[in-house]
Amino acid sequence: MAHDDRPVYLRLRDSIAEAILEGRYRDGDPLPSVRALAAEYGANPLTVAKAYQSFQDNGLVVVRRGIGMFVAKGASERLRAEERTAFLRDTWPRIHAQIRRLDLDPADLFHEDVETPA
């Protein structure tokens, strides 16, 4: 796995987004407190707060004063659309080029029992 040189708050944001996309947090669900998430990831609470703020700025979480942060209605659909766009724009061209370079048959990409060289 490649080393991720991006700031910690962006990596935390990706982890939270992944949890939302996988359905671990659904629309309306509460998110862990800043302190709880900081403890879980071994991160500084200010870093977690910055990750949460980026979601709040994008309307993906809502704050209920005195209660906590909650996944906004439609957040998973919006995140999925953003992820699709980023994948098709940034990731897929590199993958497609590598498939062509290696002369792979696209059908082989969907077999779980693909043989790997020893």
CATH 1.10.10.10 fits 1-118, yes or no: yes
The domains of the chain are located at 1-118
CA distance 37 to 47: 10
- Statement: the pTM of the whole predicted model exceeds 0.85: no
Q: pLDDT tens digits, residue range 72-93?
A: 999 999 999 999 999 999 999 9
% of the chain at pLDDT higher than 70: 92
CA distance 71 to 59: 9
Q: Residue 33 pLDDT more than 50?
A: yes
Nearest in space to 75 (alpha carbons), one of 21, 15, 33: 21
